[in-house]
Amino acid sequence: MHSLISNRLDREGFRTLFELHSQSVKAKLIELFEEVQKQGKRADSTADIDSIVAEAKKIIHKARAKLDIFYVEGIPDINEFLESNLPAEKLDTLIREAVRIVLSSGDSEELRRRTIQYIKQTQIGLLKEINTRIIEVI
């Protein structure tokens, strides 16, 4: 019971947790995309694209699973809340766009810049959306 109390977050606590979660996911996705670039994969193969998308989704879902120990006032289930604000279809579209950027760039410095910029822009948009929903829900 003590951990339940210590893992209960208010609105500001959830914002902080979500920002930390986003930073962690971003770092892991960048690592994945840098590894893809090192392997020299291109957008030629649908199997390669699907494999990279699946790996990116695995990273995101593993990170989300770590949020299960937290409780937020007004949000019964954090993962359901995130899923309702970033449905699987939208997540798939965002990941596929990032993979397209990665696979279309041959230069590693350009790849890194474009990928990081895309992920940052996407996360800024998601943070704004989530923060608005937090205010509505909590």
Residue-wise pLDDT for 60-112, tens only, equals 899 999 998 998 878 888 888 888 877 888 888 888 888 887 777 666 677 66
Q: Closest by alpha carbon to 119, among 12, 14, 33? A: 33
| Distance spanning both ends of the chain, measured CA to CA | 23
Res 59: pLDDT:
93
- Segments of the chain assigned E as strands: 8-9, 71-72
Res 1: pLDDT:
47
Q: Is the dihedral of CA 101, 54, 125, 27 positive or negative?
A: negative
